[in-house]
Amino acid sequence: MNIKLSEGSGGREMNSLVRDFRKILKVTGEWKHTDNDAAIVKINDDEYVCMTSDSFVVDPIFFPGGNIGDLAFCGTVNDLLVMGCYPKGLSLSFVIEEGFPKKDLDKILESIQAWSKKTTIPIVTGDTKVMEKGKLDKIIINTTAVGICTKEEIIDREVERGDKIILSGGLGEHAVALLSKRFDYETSIKSDSAPLVEELTMVKKQIKQAKDPTRGGLAATLNEFASKYNAIIEIDETSIPIKKEVKSVTKLLGLDPYVLACEGRFVCTVGKDKADDVLKELKVFNKDAAIIGEVKEIKSKKPEVLLLTKIGKRILHEPSGNIVPRIC
């Protein structure tokens, strides 16, 4: 048995591989959320350390709206932010192919520095390795973030029947921007890659659960929510924000926007009485933010995500297959 591309795609095959890893690694002890993107551990009366790590292998490394450096900063920072924890520092490790142009490396570093300055999250440690020409496709970056937070700050509150599901902006923009370089088409769409600092700072006290829909997209995130609460979640297709151009490009390429990775969006659950307020606040940052559905049931025997379409209801499954390799 050999590793397949699909096992890195963020869908069913990857989740199964990671479960195999966990069986061997036997993760135990005082850390929580170790099956999540970020893990957390209590260090004293009311302080927690949060940690998350991601490696970035995006191809191409430069694309409309960003580069691998933007993704490496924002992707990892967002994984802590959606937990409710503000990163205190970020490590930055490069593996570079021999012969890689230094001017490209400088551009990548400048992007990282710009976000670091804007968010005041410093790069505090790192590592640099070089592999012989032909042994690596250009460059890989790993970033790991660590943060300290209080219990109150952690976004992990009990979900109830009737809670609303909000998406903070349009789907598919990162993928459409990135693929324009691979498939050589013109597009006005830019990657949505950005740190979710301001949006989450604004609404973090009012929301119950949050997750950034990266690999596996909205479909993976909603299925994760459903499985965590044994919930039945119903989403209204007509309310899901997808820009017109994204719709037509994905249709042309035969891609499903619900499984494509976003790099600057989050999905959250909110009590129904607070949903309109949260939406209003999120619309300040992105006018495409929308209430896309609600939690129909919790503790169900058959947790699932249902998609209301013009022609009826269908199940929105956990994605599987290759989706788009090396999207981040």
Is residue 254 near a copy of itself by the rule CB under 8 A?
no
Name the one range near a copy of itself by CB under 8 A: 5-13, 188-196, 217-225, 282-290.
Answer: 5-13
79 vs 223: CA distance, rounded Å:
17
Q: Are 64 and 189 in contact (CB under 8 A)?
A: yes
Q: Which of the ranges 19-27, 182-190, 232-240, 301-309 carries the binding residues for a copy of itself, by CB under 8 A?
A: 19-27
DSSP run (H or E) holding 166: strand 164-167
Cβ closest to a copy of itself, residue 14 vs residue 292: 14
CB of 26 to a copy of itself, least distance (A): 6
16, 19, 118, 135: which one binds a copy of itself (CB under 8 A): 135
Nearest to a copy of itself of 130, 253 (CB atom) = 130
Q: Name the one residue in this structure whose structure tokens are 């520095």.
A: 113
Q: How far apart are CA 268 and CA 167, in angstroms?
A: 7
**Of the candidates 11, 65, 72, 116, which one interacts with a copy of itself according to CB under 8 A?**
116
Dist CA 100 CA 139 (whole Å): 8
**What is the distance between the alpha carbons of residues 131 and 100, in angstroms, rounded to a whole number?**
10
Closest distance to a copy of itself from the beta carbon of 219 (Å): 19
Q: If binding is defined by CB under 8 A, does position 113 make contact with a copy of itself?
A: yes
Name which position in 19, 122, 150, 277 contacts a copy of itself (CB under 8 A). Answer: 122
The rounded distance, in Å, linking the Cα atoms of 255 and 247 is: 9
Please report the DSSP string for 36-73 in residue order.
SSEEEEEEETTEEEEEEEEEE--SSSEETTEEHHHHHH
CA angle 93, 94, 96 (to 5 degrees): 165
Closest to a copy of itself by CB, 28 or 238: 28
Which residue from 61, 71, 85, 96 is in contact with a copy of itself, where contact means CB under 8 A? 96
User: In this structure, what token pair is assigned to residue 12?
Assistant: 């069913």
Which of 16, 19, 117, 287: binder of a copy of itself (CB under 8 A)? 117
Residue 89 CB, shortest distance to a copy of itself, in Å, is: 6
Q: Binding a copy of itself by CB under 8 A: which of 12, 14, 81, 295?
A: 14
Residue 39 — φ and ψ, nearest 5°?
-110, 160
Kindly state whether residue 118 participates in binding a copy of itself, applying the rule CB under 8 A: no
Count residues near a copy of itself (CB under 8 A). 83
Of 11, 54, 196, 208, the residue at the interface with a copy of itself (CB under 8 A) is 54
Residue with tokens 């058959």: 302
